[in-house]
């Protein structure tokens, strides 16, 4: 971005403390003083600590100006300050202005219980074959991350691919109205956040909020294999396209072949084109179908889509293959987890050729609420001792899976470590793994299995 401070002040309804000639040019925004660049506008947000405590640090790092919450003013600072009712609301208002008045790109908004980040990466790669594209960095997908992504755009951006997450009702409504997308995508409905929403029906209702800001001439792309979405789509007046594995969808995949480092498939629409994606799993094929429909909405040619999907760059920690210190193959998927995704990963993992043992390292799936024990135990259906003979479990919630596996696994093959005993898990795993083995790691990020991964990669132990 590039805006005079006086213009920022007008947009957010604040008085500019400087004369027009003295106003600095704002070239970015930052809400973390440690990541601030000279010329940035500092936005003090309320987190574990009050962002206003870091005004001095922001000034030291070269902030050009800062928002100040009216309830906190006056605060002595060495940089110009714009007093606003709420810094977060001011950030969102500034982002919407910049999006619509300064850049005006086409907007693709993507949500879903699983797969939204991968679908974002795929869609951005497809569109980048023909347009100047900006996408959500990492997982900046909430009420802070979405405006930050918008304000990070260059003015020559033609398409913005923005990921939108949610953990409460109303969140996607606000994000959708902020961005007013031209295309919205829902990848799937799973059990993520069921602790707060109680049922998958209510999760589907919350996900459907993304359609609320969709332009009248926009397109709604969704997983047609999900009855909950098909039911709710009948109330949507905009154009719709469905994807999935069912032949009733507008776009469906055939002849899926999963390999360790890629997946191949054919399409109903273009039978002469063979597709390959550099990620594993049937569930990633459906993500690719969503990206293909987005690409076709923007008139990207089938051959260009095929080539883009073949080597798109995936966000880190999502089904990465790595090699451990002992020479073992490691499938790392430690960023997040829900029962649907965990079963899908285990299903594919069990099919990969392996000269040693397949070992599953699984941790708690968070935010499952009252259904947590039942949903963790349900993962047992994806674990077959003849295919995955060794299982390591970490956390408190996953103890129900350990109990369930006792009926189908030898006692010595299931290793359970309560939360707080991660080092013991690491020590046991390092002593067990050999160069011929294959290991999968999956859990919610709050379990920090990335520490286990790093230990396997480095070979370090306590």
Output the known binding site: 112-118
What Rg, from alpha-carbon coordinates, does the chain have? 24
87 vs 90: CA distance, rounded Å = 5
Read off the DSSP letter of residue 245.
S
110 vs 166: CA distance, rounded Å = 11
Token code pair at residue 382:
């994806």
Read off the DSSP letter of residue 298.
T
155 vs 98: CA distance, rounded Å = 9
Token code pair at residue 52:
């206003």
Which residues does the annotation place in the binding site for ATP? 112-118
- Cα angle for residues 141, 144, 149 (degrees, 5° grid): 65
The order of strands in the sheet holding 106-111 is: 133-135, 159-163, 106-111, 183-186, 219-223, 239-244, 251-258, 263-267, 274-277
Tell me which residue of 229, 227, 226, 282 sits closest to 254, measured CA to CA: 282
Residues sharing a CB contact under 8 Å with residue 278, sequence separation 6 or more, in sequence order = 261, 262, 310, 311, 312, 314
Strands 239-244 and 183-186: unpaired
Cα 133 → chain centroid = 18
**Are the CB atoms for 332 and 413 separated by under 8 Å?**
no
Question: Rounded to 5 degrees, what are φ and ψ at 220?
Answer: -105, 115
Read off the DSSP letter of residue 160.
E
Tell me which residue of 441, 355, 354, 342 sits closest to 383, measured CA to CA: 342
Contacts from 16-20 at CB under 8 Å and sequence distance 24+?
Answer: 16/80, 16/82, 17/80, 17/81, 17/82, 18/80
Alpha helices per DSSP H over 244-386? 282-297, 302-310, 339-349, 372-378
- Upstream peptide bond of 74 is cis (omega within 30 degrees of 0): yes
């Amino acid at each position: 971005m590039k805006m005079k401070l006086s213009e920022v002040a007008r947009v957010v309804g604040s008085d500019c403390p400087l004369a027009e000639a003295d106003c600095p040019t704002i070239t970015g925004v930052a809400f973390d003083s440690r990541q601030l660049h000279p010329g940035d506008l500092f936005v003090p947000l309320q987190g574990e600590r009050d962002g206003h405590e870091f005004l001095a640090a922001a000034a030291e790092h070269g902030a050009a100006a800062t928002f100040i919450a009216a309830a906190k003013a006056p605060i002595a600072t060495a940089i110009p300050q714009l007093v606003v009712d709420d810094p977060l609301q001011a950030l969102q208002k500034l982002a919407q202005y910049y999006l619509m008045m300064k850049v005006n790109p086409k907007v693709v908004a993507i949500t879903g219980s699983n797969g939204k980040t991968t679908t974002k990466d795929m869609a951005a790669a497809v569109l980048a074959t023909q347009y100047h594209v900006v996408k959500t960095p990492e997982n900046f997908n909430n009420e802070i991350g979405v405006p930050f992504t918008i304000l990070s755009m260059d003015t020559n951006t033609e398409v913005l691919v923005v990921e939108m997450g949610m953990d409460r009702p109303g969140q996607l409504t606000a994000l959708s109205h902020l961005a007013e997308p031209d295309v919205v995508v829902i990848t799937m409905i799973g059990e993520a956040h069921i602790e707060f929403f109680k049922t998958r029906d209510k999760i589907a209702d919350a996900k459907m909020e993304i359609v609320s800001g969709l332009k009248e001439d926009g397109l709604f792309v969704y997983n047609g294999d999900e009855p909950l979405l098909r039911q709710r789509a009948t109330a949507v007046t905009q154009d719709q396209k469905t994807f999935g594995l069912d032949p009733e969808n507008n776009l469906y995949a055939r002849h899926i072949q999963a390999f360790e480092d890629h997946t191949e498939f054919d399409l109903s629409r273009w039978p002469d084109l063979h597709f390959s994606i550099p990620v594993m799993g049937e569930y990633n094929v459906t993500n690719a179908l969503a990206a293909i429909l987005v690409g076709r909405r923007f008139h990207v040619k089938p051959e260009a889509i095929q080539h883009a999907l073949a080597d798109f760059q995936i966000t880190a920690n999502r089904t990465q293959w790595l090699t451990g210190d002992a020479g073992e193959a490691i499938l790392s998927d430690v960023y997040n987890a829900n029962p649907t995704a965990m079963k899908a990963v285990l299903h594919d993992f069990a099919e990969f050729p392996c000269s040693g043992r397949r070992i599953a390292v699984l941790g708690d799936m968070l935010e499952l609420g009252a259904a947590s024990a039942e949903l963790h135990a349900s993962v047992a259906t994806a674990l077959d001792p003849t295919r995955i003979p060794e299982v390591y479990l970490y956390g408190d919630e996953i103890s129900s899976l350990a109990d369930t596996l006792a009926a189908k696994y030898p006692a010595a093959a299931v290793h359970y470590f309560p939360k707080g005993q991660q080092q013991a898990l690491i020590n046991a795993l390092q002593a067990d793994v050999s160069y011929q083995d294959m290991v999968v790691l999956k859990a919610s990020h709050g379990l920090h299995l990335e520490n286990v991964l790093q230990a396997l990669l480095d070979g370090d132990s306590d």
